[in-house]
Amino acid sequence: MTLRIGHGLDSHRLEPGRPLMLGCVPVPSDLGLAGHSDGDAAAHALADACLGAAGLGTMGDHFPSDAERWRGVSGHEFLELVAAKLAQAGARVTSAEVALVCARPRLAPFFAAMGEAMSAALATPPGTVTVTATSGDGLGAAGRGEGILASAVALLEVG
């Protein structure tokens, strides 16, 4: 058995008129994340961290954003698809953390639900995925509230 670590990064713009889905959880907000899919930057960063740790490439390799098949697909479904690829490769997620830069809305009340939802989507025990966030202190696009930036690390057992 080998331990492998992966890191994923993703960001999406915040726009009016879209629901905010983050970490596979709907978050009340007057702005939502734009994107070809549902824009769930937290789920996408986590998916990339898992794929990378397993040596399976990137989200872009498996789910290209110019393909009609992936239009509007939820972060939950992407994580389920990634979980199936990990299982096929004999890899198991033992722990993961998603760190968000988000000026608005306040996400702390949703950390537990996001972690549970993403753990479930990966078919891992509750508590496998944890979530944290920082406001960004007004710095950069995410810190100014123009979008949300997600960074994720995942630790996998392989073999």
In the complex, the residues that contact Mg ion under the rule CB under 5 A are 10, 44
Q: Which is nearer to Mg ion, 80 or 157 (CB)?
A: 80
User: Considering the complex, what minimum distance in angstroms separates the CB of residue 118 from Mg ion?
Assistant: 14
Q: Which residue is nearest to Mg ion (CB)?
A: 44
User: Considering the complex, what minimum distance in angstroms separates the CB of residue 47 from Mg ion?
Assistant: 9
Q: Which is nearer to Mg ion, 44 or 92 (CB)?
A: 44
Q: Which is nearer to Mg ion, 10 or 77 (CB)?
A: 10
User: Considering the complex, what minimum distance in angstroms separates the CB of residue 135 from Mg ion?
Assistant: 21
Q: Which is nearer to Mg ion, 78 or 92 (CB)?
A: 78
Distance CA 118, CA 130 (A): 9
User: Considering the complex, what minimum distance in angstroms separates the CB of residue 41 from Mg ion?
Assistant: 6
Q: Are 71 and 143 in contact (CB under 8 A)?
A: no
